[in-house]
Structure 1
Amino acid sequence: MKCLPKKFKYSLLSAVSLGISILVATSASAQDSRNVIEPRIPTVCTILTASQTQAEHSKASDTQRIQSALDSCPQGQAVQLAANNEKDSFQSGPLRIPSGVSLLVDRDATLYASNDAALYDKGNQTCGVNAEKGRSCKPFITIENARGSGIYGSGVIDGQGGQTVVGKTESWWQMARRAQKEKNEHNVPRFIEVIRSEDITFYQITLRNSPNFHVTLNRVDGFTAWGVKIDTPSDARNTDGIDPISSRNITIAHSYIRTGDDNIAIKGGNNGATENVSVLHNHFYSGHGMSIGSETNSGVRSILVKDLSLDGTTSGLRIKSDVSRGGLVEQVRYEDVCIRNSKRPIDLDTRYDKNAVGNKIPQYRDIVFERVSSLTPGQIIVRGYNVAYPLAVQFKQVAVAAQSPQTLQFANVELDQQKIALAEAATELRWMAPASAECQAKFVAFPEKTSVNFRPQLSAEQAKYYSIEQVLRTTGAAGKEVIDPWNPLSDDLVINSNLPVDYVVDANAVADGKTQFATVQAAINQALLDGRKFVAEKSSKRRLYILVKPGTYNELMYVPETALPITLYSNESDARKTKISASVHAALLGSVYTERFGPQFAKADSAIQAMFQSLKDRPVVGTSGTGIAWIKGDGFQAKNITFENAYNKDKVDLKAECPNTSCGTTAGTAPVVVVQHQAVALMVDGADKVQFENIRVHGFQDTLFLKSRAIAHTSRSFFHRSYVEGNVDFIFGDTTAYFYRSEIKSLGDRTTSYVTAPNTNVKTPYGFVFNECNFTHDGSANALAGKFYLGRQWFHTQKCTPYAGINVPGYSCTLAETDGYQAPRGTISKNVLETVGKSVILNSKIGAHIQKEHPWADWNRKSVLAFRPAQFAIADYWRNLSEVGIDPIKQLGYSSPEQLASGSAAIFLAEFNNTQE
């Protein structure tokens, strides 16, 4: 380790104690005196989620809540700004980052600087006004008298320099251009100012559209920019990228800068020299180049620029000053630099402003260029001040394109060991010819922010794999499915209008207990008994048919595993005329469930009784106990029937649904207020080849539950010409289910609605498939707001989330055999991680109620324990695990994404050939 100055040793130890990462020098000759490694993102103290979309970001200000979070965040930690589905934007006025605290902008989030000039005014009401004097605006972000602070994250901070300023007719950039023409000063805010601070880190952040300079450092000791992207148009005036001023120990590495002025400008201003600066492994695009100056009056020294590409900058490697602000620039090295499409690839000039007046003569000495190539013609300028103050510069293996004009004056040059004194009338230097191949790999495209495609589409070839025959052709354990072809459209249920009759259910007829019944459950009970007898007698009968006469049957309907499959149907084509209805919600006490429904099951077969018994002793029945129709029998069919959970359907009846003694209360506690709970109308539980023709499923939350018999096991259901309604997660589960030519209706009694909540296993080829369906709404104000979702992937049985922090100090969620959470630490199992959820929609009509740009939602929002981001394909699953430190190969035993899930199994959420209102 290098010997560090006493002051810097203190700074380094202080930063480490705060948990702030310090960079290790990537080159033995780096000028930054610190030893450094790539920064690490600090622990998050608070997560703030966005409440605005990109289109809405100017409608409200987040200044107060962001500043309050920063002010209350402990040192060594960060405030995180996170997207919340389509709500991905924050807008703020000026912010101040306290000492030891950092700001973290998450991947899909953007922090916008308000374009209201009044918020930046320092008190003279001149911010946003061109005048004789400038600098009357506060910066957007200030870091002052701080140690160990920073800005992190792969999100964006946007200065809105091109947007019209509030109450004005111009943008910040237009004001700046007008000031240039009028020869006065433009009062616009700088983007980020770091003042009198130590060990400041910028990591991965994208800064764009700054009104003025992006980042200025003034009297800073220890600054790191690593992986930073600066992106502002080339015609935006005075939008320097990073300007170290009177600062020391600076490293700018692995960054990408395109802007309207100097990409980097190292300055020795009035407050002292700038020294020990390393500019390593960077790429510059539009801008005025890698600059030193124009203020050099306090000195600039010990600068290393290494492994740099400049593509399209007006100047390339540039030192600029004049007698009004000149000083000594020395010990500057440029190594391994490639330049193309630059007007002035090498630009060393002591007469930056030819009209400048003063006695601060610029002096440049010990300037070294080594392995520098300019591939395209451009002017070479090497111009000292006069014969008494010549430049001193060395060129080693420097290549310049032919036909590059040269301005050479007052310089002592060493060109590949040949010493040349350039007088007032100098001849041209003879350069090496550039070899473009050596630079080719250095010129990379600016890394545009890759926007997540929140609405992925299948190709026509991929869509072929979602036919009825293909989706329903296999069953069994995921990854080990067996082929069992099934085409339900060829079944009698669909093609035969005159189905057999074994039993009749008619509430208005006299029941005989053999073939005539007053309740549906009684008929199913008899079919269960008879089915066993027929199988024992080796009867040719293969299915039993129950005809249900029109009417409303207020009962539960439980179908256990049966010896012969059962078909339940009505001859009325309007399914609303034949309804099975009851009211059960997830918070209902087991004792109340027993009181209400126990008599119905008193004389039922033991298999049906077992289903009842599994619920009656529960404290509350829970979601899985709310099914009005509960199907466990393979091959079950239903036609022309409505299944309804009547909970809250007519009105919210608190007294009836939740009496003081019957809704999860205990002695001494207040009754629970019921507004809405999970309330399943139809639950298919592990049954395979279950078929529904022209049925209706009515409910609100969790209306239709489709559950496999075991984890990662494929069970199949088919819905044809049917109707399902609800408001939240109303089609959910882990089976393979095909919905064909059906209506899926979102009810708008809540401001947020999700159609599906699949929790399909990652290895299961198909989850929910909708083909030629109509996604409709009820015309309510909530639905017409267009903010509902096609679905979110159920993070089933999770107890904590590894995908984000939560607002609990010391929180962690790590991989383990079991799932649990005891604040602040939790564990999560492989089984839970693998419940990824799959849903594909093809050839369907999607109503105006569905969010157009972001129809698939995250599972809850960042900052809460139940968060998981939407995952569209196996690549997302793999990447998300890796990003949070769970190694898919070493810890989960996968060999590759393709091995884990290939073909259709690799697709989680997608659409094809849909239309939307």
Structure 2
Amino acid sequence: MNNVPHRLISASLVCIAFVSFTGSASAQDSRQVSEPRKPLVCMILTANQSQAEHNKAVDAERIQRALDHCPQGQAVQLAANNEKDSFQSGPLRIPSGVSLLIDRDVTLYASSDAALYEKDIQKGSQTCGVNADKGRSCKPFITIENARGSGIYGTGVIDGQGGQTVLGKTESWWQMARRAQKEKNEHNVPRLIEVIRSEDVTLHQITLRNSPNFHVTLNRVDGFTAWGVKIDTPHDARNTDGIDPISSRNITIAHSYIRTGDDNIAIKGGNNGATENVSVLHNHFYSGHGMSIGSETNSGVRRILVQDLSLDGTTSGLRIKSDVSRGGIVEQVRYEDVCIRNSKRPIDIDTRYDPKALGDKIPQYRDIVLENVRSLTPGQIIVRGYDVAHPLSIQFKQVALAAPSVQTLQFANLNIDQKTFNFSDAATDLTWSAPKANDCQEKLLTFPVKQQIDFRPQLSAEQAKLYAIEQVLRTTGAAGKEIVDPWNPLQDDLVTKTDLPVDYIVDANASADNKTKFTTVQAAINQALLDGRRLLAEKSPRRRLYILVQAGIYKELMYVPETALPITLYSKDSDARNTKISASVHAALLGSVYTERFAQQFANLDPAILAMYQSLKDRPVVGTSGTGIAWIKADGFQAKNITFENAYNKDKVDLKAECPNTSCGATAGTAPVVVVQHQAVALMLEGADKAQFENVRVHGFQDTLFLKSRAIAHTSRSFFHRAYVEGNVDFIFGDTTAYFYRSEIKSLGDRSTSYVTAPNTNVKTRYGFVFNESHFTHDGSVNALAGKFYLGRQWFHTQKCTPYAGINLPAYSCTLADADSYQAPRGTISKTVLETVGKVVILNSTIGAHIQKQHPWADWNKKSSLAFRPVQFSVDDYWNNLLMTEIDPVKDLGYTAPAQLATGSAAIFLAEFNNKQE
């Protein structure tokens, strides 16, 4: 499976070619290094919890199982599922050749349960999380050992929770570390990531934060790349080094940002061999102890290149540290193009890291070069060899230092711009060139704090003006070619008058003459259709026909084709519940059963009405578009004081409902489980422009109100005033422009997940659904009171494959084509479907407690499903999401820029203004 198959390669096959530098070619990673590319994905795991719930290691087993079963060269992907964006795990082990890919919105939390990290559970007593005479009794959170080509990718976050209270204790990991420092003992604490005896390991773009101890350690590693990594931990968190290569070789750390509580980077030559061939390139450091070598150098450190580095706020800048207990040879180290600011010790090269240390491992530093190094602020300069017999050897080229407050120069042979200085005893009077005022202006960048997506974007006051009734409803027609046709439905007689004319009366309890008196609503519609044609042909001044419906329940379908004169259907009873048009039709209903139920109703009706019926009767199943109890295609149609109800499952579960090609999932007698729940539309508008509804009620469950344009990217307008609409899933959906004013929208909680809207507005259409001064309510059910329902998700137009993510299927792809199709594992998607983006704006309304507060707009299905599409709030999101797929918005779709697609209100897909959340 893949998102961009022709661009992706296995982590173990990453070819790395890098930037050349001035100086000795040997002082760098011997590999050729370029920016790593994400591996193919073998499995997508979606989150089951939100950030507020990260307290248990609930995901460890499934993540480890997925890693263990992932083929080499591929990755397990952790993905968000709307507001569920967090994984919580105990220790994980990444196998050889396998990678972990963490999505942008995802955080993987390390459990704070110390017992999970216990190295030796055979001992019977817990030492991890205990300060003691001996340390290192904890497993790391993530281990990569004896591996080749493994890695961690993605723009998500791994959070070690170092500042959280450890489970069952009263302190955090960091607090225990400070206590160990005072008590002079060892802190048994897990590191975040350990790479051991491995080759060609990669960290790419990942953010690491709040490690309990060191963030990344490498031990006996040959080939490691960290590119675009961010490490972010408080400055006072003890022993939280950023990246520490130990006894390793061929290391590149590039384009990364590190702020932490200890060494930003510490290159160490420990007991298992030298560390050599290290390139530290184009990085930025902030709080921390600087760019360090040591303190362990006993096996040697050599061929190190530090190039294009900024250090802003580190306690030390360029630092080499060791002592006689762990000293060795540090050689062939080059620092080039380095900027330092606000450092207490900009240059800190010392062989007496611990003055009280004992031993015979004398540190020796030689062939050290600093070129074009600038310290913009004063600080202490330390250059101190061990003794006369073991002096330092350092060359300075174009080094500029703000006047140092203190200098310690001892046992050092220095070459400064080709001038030689030999210091045997301590000296403090060396004069340095001063940095220029404009030095480093482009290099000292602020730490790139991750921009959180605003899942509740708000309109400005000026933007909100674009959503007034007269603005939204003033145009109609094809998107981009709209015609101005001002319409203010609040001025219509339907709203302003209490006594409306009567042309026809419908009364189920009275006798009918089938001319002006009828017992069914459909019969009256049929007569109005006929009379309207006649009156238009006679050039009558009549402009509308009125049907009065007496209170009662009318168990029938109501189909309204295009009419010569518009029709108003109304009741004089102001309680719309007393006048109801009701029937039961669901999307899986067989066409033969539909015919059996409703054929008699359509006998002897006008051909235009009959054609609507005939378009459904021969279908294998009627489908969503065939379920409308009231199906209206006529411009100017009006209704007042009427309830439109699809009664499917309203009174009881329909145990006989057809489930073609599926299993209903339950059997009779398993109540209260709902055996089936299909789409069942109560009111469907199809291409009806200027359709107006006053004090109506629309009852259903799934897909209650369907608002459909007559053509793609064509504006049809409807207006709902003092209306009531209820349902559970996608219960207001479609691609028209619809305005809901002073209405109630109720979510029914018979399901654990609910979506109010499912718009599929075209990207170029100015307006989708607008709700103003409305109230989003719920039924008080347990599911609703959980507060996890959504205002909507953008309908992906029954798409069969997604280009926005992979699925858990090998060789999966979804590419652009003229038609939409899917034959596993490959599918196609059309430009038409891509452009159905969905638009909803809610203003001046009250939103009930049933709606998820932080994340009220949902993705269309979850990542790893064929029909996944991420929520898109604006045309910029649409554009950027395309850029991350194989579909190029310029080359493949013919766009030039987002503004070409949509500007003004058309560029806004989902937004709110001045709403109140209960």
Q: Same fold (TM over 0.5)?
A: yes
Letter in 2 for 1:98: P
Letter in 2 for 1:167: G
| Structure 2, gaps ≥5 residues long | 1-7, 669-673
Structure-2 separation of matches of 1:907 and 1:590: 40
Which residue pairs with 1:834 in the alignment?
835
Which residue pairs with 1:12 in the alignment?
none
Which residue pairs with 1:4 in the alignment?
none
Which residue pairs with 2:76 in the alignment?
79
Structure 1 position 54, deviation (Å): 0.4
5 Å-filtered alignment, 1:270-281, equals 270-281=271-282
Letter in 2 for 1:279: V
Match of 2:660 among 637, 660, 664: 664
Structure-1 separation of matches of 2:743 and 2:679: 23
Structure-2 separation of matches of 1:24 and 1:481: 54
Structure-2 separation of matches of 1:18 and 1:411: 44
Which residue pairs with 1:21 in the alignment?
14
Contact 2:549–2:569 (CA under 8 A) maintained in structure 1: yes
| Structure 1, gaps ≥5 residues long | 1-14
Aligned to 1:135, what secondary structure does the other structure show? coil
Contact 1:800–1:865 (CA under 8 A) maintained in structure 2: yes
When normalised by structure 1's length, the TM-score is 0.97
Which residue pairs with 1:10 in the alignment?
none
Structure 1 position 825, deviation (Å): 1.0
Which residue pairs with 1:380 in the alignment?
381
Aligned to 2:169, what secondary structure does the other structure show? coil
Which residue pairs with 2:592 in the alignment?
591
Against the structure 1 CA distance between its residues 770 and 296, is the aligned structure 2 distance closer, same or farther, given a 3 Å change threshold?
same
Which residue pairs with 2:105 in the alignment?
108
Against the structure 1 CA distance between its residues 344 and 665, is the aligned structure 2 distance closer, same or farther, given a 3 Å change threshold?
closer
Structure-2 separation of matches of 1:487 and 1:231: 55
Structure-2 separation of matches of 1:876 and 1:542: 45
Contact 2:12–2:150 (CA under 8 A) maintained in structure 1: no
Which residue pairs with 1:54 in the alignment?
51
5 Å-filtered alignment, 1:747-786, equals 747-786=748-787
5 Å-filtered alignment, 1:534-553, equals 534-553=535-554
The one-character-per-residue Cα deviations of 1:32-61 (angstroms, maximum 9, x if unpaired) are 111122111111100011101100111452
The one-character-per-residue Cα deviations of 1:595-622 (angstroms, maximum 9, x if unpaired) are 1001111111000011001100100000
Which residue pairs with 2:40 in the alignment?
43
Against the structure 1 CA distance between its residues 781 and 562, is the aligned structure 2 distance closer, same or farther, given a 3 Å change threshold?
same
Structure-1 separation of matches of 2:813 and 2:197: 35
Which residue pairs with 1:126 in the alignment?
127
Structure 1 position 17, deviation (Å): 6.8
Structure 1 position 666, deviation (Å): 11
Structure-1 separation of matches of 2:885 and 2:356: 57
Contact 1:281–1:306 (CA under 8 A) maintained in structure 2: yes
Structure 1 position 874, deviation (Å): 1.0
Structure-2 separation of matches of 1:666 and 1:67: 33
The one-character-per-residue Cα deviations of 1:671-697 (angstroms, maximum 9, x if unpaired) are 999420000000000110000000000
Which residue pairs with 1:689 in the alignment?
690
Which residue pairs with 1:517 in the alignment?
518
Structure-1 separation of matches of 2:264 and 2:822: 48
Structure-2 separation of matches of 1:452 and 1:695: 37
5 Å-filtered alignment, 1:177-188, equals 177-188=178-189
Structure 1 position 797, deviation (Å): 2.9
Which residue pairs with 1:464 in the alignment?
465
The one-character-per-residue Cα deviations of 1:330-361 (angstroms, maximum 9, x if unpaired) are 00000000000000000110000000101111
5 Å-filtered alignment, 1:227-306, equals 227-306=228-307
5 Å-filtered alignment, 1:130-279, equals 130-279=131-280
Which residue pairs with 2:114 in the alignment?
117
Aligned: 1:68 with 2:65? yes
Contact 2:57–2:90 (CA under 8 A) maintained in structure 1: no
When normalised by structure 2's length, the TM-score is 0.96
Structure 1 position 428, deviation (Å): 2.4
Q: Which moved more, 1:731-740 or 1:817-826?
A: 817-826
Contact 2:666–2:675 (CA under 8 A) maintained in structure 1: no
Structure-1 separation of matches of 2:885 and 2:370: 43
Aligned to 1:64, what secondary structure does the other structure show? helix
Q: Which moved more, 1:27-36 or 1:774-783?
A: 27-36
Structure 1 position 897, deviation (Å): 0.8
Which residue pairs with 2:878 in the alignment?
877
Structure 1 position 466, deviation (Å): 0.3
Structure-2 separation of matches of 1:504 and 1:768: 33
Structure-1 separation of matches of 2:654 and 2:79: 39
Letter in 1 for 2:387: N
Structure-1 separation of matches of 2:754 and 2:56: 24
Letter in 2 for 1:629: A
Contact 1:252–1:280 (CA under 8 A) maintained in structure 2: yes
Against the structure 1 CA distance between its residues 710 and 497, is the aligned structure 2 distance closer, same or farther, given a 3 Å change threshold?
same
Higher RCO by CA contacts (8 Å cutoff, separation 6 or greater): 2
Structure-2 separation of matches of 1:549 and 1:457: 44
Structure-1 separation of matches of 2:826 and 2:74: 18
Contact 1:20–1:40 (CA under 8 A) maintained in structure 2: no
Which residue pairs with 2:361 in the alignment?
360
Which residue pairs with 2:640 in the alignment?
639
Structure-1 separation of matches of 2:144 and 2:632: 63
Aligned to 1:899, what secondary structure does the other structure show? helix
Which residue pairs with 1:867 in the alignment?
868
Which residue pairs with 2:331 in the alignment?
330
Structure-1 separation of matches of 2:515 and 2:739: 35
Letter in 2 for 1:570: S
Task: Give aligned pairs, total.
Answer: 897
Structure 1 position 403, deviation (Å): 4.1
Letter in 2 for 1:818: A
Identity of aligned residues (%): 82
Aligned to 1:739, what secondary structure does the other structure show? strand
Contact 1:20–1:42 (CA under 8 A) maintained in structure 2: no
5 Å-filtered alignment, 1:446-845, equals 446-655=447-656, 657-658=657-658, 663-664=659-660, 674-845=675-846
Structure 1 position 429, deviation (Å): 2.1
Structure 1 position 670, deviation (Å): 12
Structure-2 separation of matches of 1:59 and 1:525: 64
Structure 1 position 27, deviation (Å): 2.3
Aligned to 2:881, what secondary structure does the other structure show? helix
Q: Which moved more, 1:797-806 or 1:307-316?
A: 797-806
Against the structure 1 CA distance between its residues 891 and 17, is the aligned structure 2 distance closer, same or farther, given a 3 Å change threshold?
closer
Structure 1 position 191, deviation (Å): 0.7
Letter in 1 for 2:54: H
Contact 1:738–1:769 (CA under 8 A) maintained in structure 2: yes
Letter in 2 for 1:287: G
Structure-2 separation of matches of 1:319 and 1:273: 15
Structure-1 separation of matches of 2:403 and 2:571: 89
Structure 1 position 817, deviation (Å): 1.5
Structure-2 separation of matches of 1:18 and 1:179: 40
Aligned to 1:654, what secondary structure does the other structure show? coil
Contact 1:665–1:671 (CA under 8 A) maintained in structure 2: no
Aligned to 1:68, what secondary structure does the other structure show? helix
Structure 1 position 827, deviation (Å): 1.0
Against the structure 1 CA distance between its residues 487 and 854, is the aligned structure 2 distance closer, same or farther, given a 3 Å change threshold?
same
Structure-1 separation of matches of 2:554 and 2:366: 97
Letter in 2 for 1:24: A
Aligned: 1:345 with 2:339? no
Structure 1 position 300, deviation (Å): 0.4
Q: Please, what is the CA RMSD of the aligned residues?
A: 1.5
Contact 2:12–2:148 (CA under 8 A) maintained in structure 1: no
Aligned to 1:561, what secondary structure does the other structure show? coil
Against the structure 1 CA distance between its residues 685 and 674, is the aligned structure 2 distance closer, same or farther, given a 3 Å change threshold?
farther
